[in-house]
Every structure is written in structure tokens, then in C-alpha cells.
Chain A
């Protein structure tokens, strides 16, 4: 069973940043706690330790 962990996500609609449970390989409906949008994206930049908003 893949492990579930808390990961950083970012809402593409309202730019809110928050943590949600994430299980690799498992599709989940994710909702922004601030605006209710489903355009919620895993914040890979934060994961890598780079400051948010930094361009590659």
C-alpha cells in the first residue's frame, strides 16, 4: 500500500497555498479550502525547497 503524506498544494484560481493528504498513484478529488476550486496543483517548487513563485 502506498503511503499517504501531507504535501503542499497551490490553488490556481485564488493562489492559496495549503497542505492536503497525498498518496502517490492514487487519484483524488482535491478542493481548495479557500475558494472551493478543483484547480489544485501539487506545489513542486516548495517540495524541492525553492522559494514559492521562483521561476525555473
Chain B
């Protein structure tokens, strides 16, 4: 931290909030609200005289509320910059008559109660998101009695209690009687791997954190008995298994089973747990002086704000989604934005440092090159055809379009486009064309596939990254699927325009399949949601027109799901066989009539518009 603070090329903006980020790779305009500290950080020597005279006492968040701080304080011992700040919500001193003691005491006259927040604007080429995480609050798990039983603490509180710089100055005590506990129990997976509370993921760090805590405890107080209740110990990192062994050798008992409830003996304030040891299948009762809940990691509460600022997407567990889990684990889907640390997923210090180094290197590579290679497959906009309906700006996962329907203006940043093609599929006026995947190119493919024996064929639209790759996996594994299925590749299923599906049916296709990535795998943030919406609309239309919706299927198939692809295609072939020639003819008739109606409507509208203008 000190090195970062002193580095000539790093400008550190602490106590600040990013209010807006606009632009794209190499050209981000950033607006930051630098909140005032009410203390001149360039003059403050962090002597602490001001805090000594401050009469206001509030809980210290750094010490997990186990001790207090003053209204003027240094957040934690190694804080950078090493200067005090005033918590103005608690301070009495905005009115010097009310207090003003810190200002009187400060020899360097650093304190200014009238200091104002400052807005700073600057340009950056790349952005690294390292917004961290929150810790799970176990209050909602009533069975553990956190806050009800004072001797139940979280792993974070335990760390502070054990720390030499902690609230008890390194003397390990339990909260109720301030005596050193003789027995300590640890409960793992509190707020992790729990479907019930919507936290099905493993928090990654808790097992090793507990092992480290038990070693610390045994190192300081070898006579304390420690027991760990766990589902399974995940010690998969370098040297981690060794640490686990050391903990067991130090006398820590590991019991495979999670207590159902923690109860308190009102007299001794000791804690009792009943647990089934799944290695012996026996119900055991244990009593402890103190219990530690090994709490998991959760996404930060303010993540939606950051998500909106940078048009990021999230995985179902609520952390930010990387561009690709294997090939681009540091990159955000938008070029020039990278992740470091727990913003992307729960990770320990080592993994966070590794990712941060990778993110810095990725950003530096881009900046040192001085120019950016853009996607070749992007949309092109014909402003002459645009009606400023703003559909494109609504569906674009990257915010490449800015439309003002009132002023009739549209701006499109090519550098932001990643080429999913959702805009081209949604634009009703033909103003957007997808390079290399134009309407004409796709329609021509449909025509070619259905030129001979259309009733025998199935048109399958497959996205480049998942479904098409899934077909490849299927083929690579020598899994047979019916040969009459004709795949048409698009970059994203979002590119599959309603008119492609209707065209295929008009050309006599008995079945059409639209396939893409599973929701969490979508390579274009959330473009495949638009695919689903479109298909659902088509099902409704089909029903209205008297066409069986069952003839249009939607399937999410990942690149690894070769078998799923085979099974899906085999099932579809069975369904195809049930579609009669008469049904196909009837569909062609209905859809041709509907097309004629649409054309007539469009013609009428076109004919009406100049008349209206004249009148």
C-alpha cells in the first residue's frame, strides 16, 4: 500500500466514488466524486492528538465493532494516506461552539470543517474493477444464534480477538466474561454451499482461513481445545494440504458434520451443539466456551452500481462475469475492462494478487500498443433507414448505441460492438446490418438447405461459441446424429431474426431449432435473453395463426455438451417425422398469406405518409 501511495505514476484517490464512466477502450471519460476528509492529508502527520481530545465515541468497523473509535480517526494502522479523517455523521464539530476540540488541538491547522467534496474528471485507457466483496452476515441463520448468544462470533471477529492490534490487545478472551476460553468450536460453510439462503457456491477461502486460525490459536494457546465442524475440507492450493496436516497434528479435531443448532447454557454461557459425525454415523454432543462461524463471501451490495457504470454482467451467484472462464479469465466482456480479486469470484490473497498482476499486464499490453484491434464482425448502421425507435440501444449488451427519439439522433460506437447481432435481428427497419452475417447471407443459406426435399430437413440455427461447438464435440466424439439436420452458424443466437425462422417455414421446413449458449455462458453478456423473448413471441404468433408451436424449438447447448446435442437432434428427428406433408403445405400457405398482409400494410403506410404530410 505504501509503495502504491508513493509511486510517481499512480494517483491514489481514496474516500472517493466513481460517479460515471463513459466511452470505450482507450477513451474512457471518468467522473469521480472525491469526498472530503475535512483534514488536509498533505499536512497531517497522523500524530493522533486530535483523536485523543475528540469526545465522540462510535463503534470501530475495522475492529468489527468490538471496540470503539473517535469521530476523527485513522481507519486502520497501515492506512494510506496516513492521515486522519472526520466521520461527519458522528462529529459535533461543524459548529465550533458545539465542539471544535480537534481543530483547537491540531498544531498544523489541518482541520477544515467547511471543506467541500470535489468532482474530478479525467480520461483513462483501461479500467480495472477491483471492488472486493462483503462478508456474509449470519444473523439470518437463526439456528446459530449469532448476536443472540454473545459467545458466538464470526471468523472476522475471531481474527480481531486473536490479533495483537485487536480490541483486547492480543489477549484472547470470550465476549461474555472476558476470560480466556478453554474450548473453541468452528462451524464451516456458514453462508456458503447453502441453497436455502441462495448461496450455493463455495466461498473458496473459509477452509484455509479456519485452518490458519486453528494453527494460530494452538500456537498461542496450546492448551485450548479446538474442534472444526465441516462438510469437506477444501485444501487444494500449494502447501494447503500440509497446513491442514499441521493443524491436525497440533491437536485440532476435525468432525465431518455441521451442527443443526447452537444452544446456550444460561448459567455458564457455554454453547452446546448436537452434530452427526458422518464418518462414524453417530450423534454427538459437544460443549464449547466459544464458537466461531466461518462466514462466507458475498458480492458487494453496491455491485449493481458498478455493473451499470461499466455495462458488466453477473453470474448467478452475483459476482461479475468474465469474458471467458478459461481463455479470458481476467477480462470483462467489454474490451479494456479487467477484473482483479473478489469482484469476479471469491478468492484468497494469492489468487487475488495473481489476478491483479494479470489484469495490470493485460491493461499495460493494450496501452503500450497504443492502438486497439477491433472486432471484424460488427454491425453497420444506415442512418437513412433509422427511425430512432431506440430498440438497438435497448438490446445492445455493450451500450454501443445512444438514441434520442425526440431529437431524432443516433450515435453508434463501432469500437464497443462485439458482434452478437441482436441489434440487427431486432431492428424492424433494416437500418442495421451485421458484417459477415447479413440477412441475405443467412437467407441464402436457408434457401440452399431447403432447395431439395425441404420436408425432410430440419433447420438448426446454432451460435458460434456454444451450440455450434457442441455439434463439433458431438462429431469429434463420433456420436451419430441424424444427417438431415442443417446447421446455420451465427455468432450469437441473438442474431436469429424472426424473419429467418418464418422464411425457413415458408420454404417448407417441418421443424426449426434455435440454439445458443446456456444463460450463464452467453458470450455476449445477455444477448440470448433476447433470443428467448423472440422465440416466445413466435410461439404466441404460431398459436394465433394455427401453426403448432412445437415445430419451433429453443435449446441451450454448451460446447461441452456433445451428448446433449446428439440427444436433442435425435428427439427432434422423431418430432419431424410426425409433421405431415399437409401440415407443411398449410403452414406455407398461412405464412405466405401473412407475408402478403404485411407487405400490403407496409405499402399502405408508405402511400399514406406523403398524403398526411401534404394535408
Contact = CB atoms under 8 A, between A and B. Distances in A.
Question: Interface residues of A toward B: which range?
Answer: 10 to 19
B100 interface: no
A27 B316 CA distance: 12
A12 B532 contact: no
A13 B549 contact: no
Interface string A13-28: 1110000000000011
B550 A37 contact: no
Interface in A8-56: 12-15, 27-29, 35-39, 41, 56
A41 B555 contact: no
A12 B567 CA distance: 15
Contacts of B34: none
Given A38-B555, A39-B555, A12 B564 contact: no
B89 to A, nearest CB: 28
Interface string B14-55: 000000000000000000000000000000000000000000
Interface in B489-534: 518-520, 526, 529, 532-533
B528 to A, nearest CB: 9
Question: Interface residues of B toward A: which range?
Answer: 20 to 34
A27 B539 CA distance: 16
B554 interface: yes
Given A12-B549, A35-B571, A37-B568, A29 B518 contact: yes
A38 B571 contact: no
Contacts of B552: 12, 39
Contact of B532 (A14, A27, A36, A37): A27
A35 to B, nearest CB: 7
Contacts of A35: 571
Contacts of B571: 13-14, 35, 37
Secondary structure class of chain A's binding surface, majority of residues: loop
Nearest to A30: B532
B140 interface: no
A8 to B, nearest CB: 15
Contacts of B550: 12-13, 15, 39
Contacts of B575: 13
A36 B552 CA distance: 16
B99 interface: no
Contact of B555 (A14, A28, A37): A37
Contact of A38 (B526, B543, B554): B554
B564 A36 contact: yes
B553 interface: yes
Contacts of A38: 554-556
Contacts of A13: 550, 553, 571-572, 575
Nearest to A31: B556
A27 B529 contact: yes
B536 A12 contact: no
B533 A27 contact: yes
Contacts of B567: 36
Contact of B549 (A14, A27, A36, A41): A41
Contacts of B553: 12-13, 37, 39
A28 B532 CA distance: 9
A12 B554 CA distance: 9
Interface in B389-408: none
Nearest to A56: B543
Interface string B541-560: 00100000110111110000
B519 A29 contact: yes
Contacts of A37: 553, 555, 568, 571
Contacts of B519: 27-29
A55 B526 CA distance: 35
Nearest to B521: A29
Interface pairs A-B: 9 shortest CB-CB: A29-B519, A27-B529, A39-B553, A12-B550, A38-B556, A39-B554, A38-B554, A38-B555, A41-B539
22 contacts: A12-B549, A12-B553, A13-B553, A13-B571, A13-B572, A13-B575, A15-B550, A27-B526, A27-B529, A27-B532, A29-B518, A29-B519, A29-B520, A35-B571, A36-B564, A36-B567, A37-B555, A38-B554, A38-B555, A39-B550, A39-B552, A39-B554
Given A13-B550, A29-B519, 19 more contacts: A12-B550, A12-B552, A12-B553, A13-B571, A13-B575, A14-B571, A27-B519, A27-B526, A27-B532, A27-B533, A28-B519, A37-B553, A37-B555, A38-B554, A38-B556, A39-B552, A39-B554, A41-B539, A56-B543
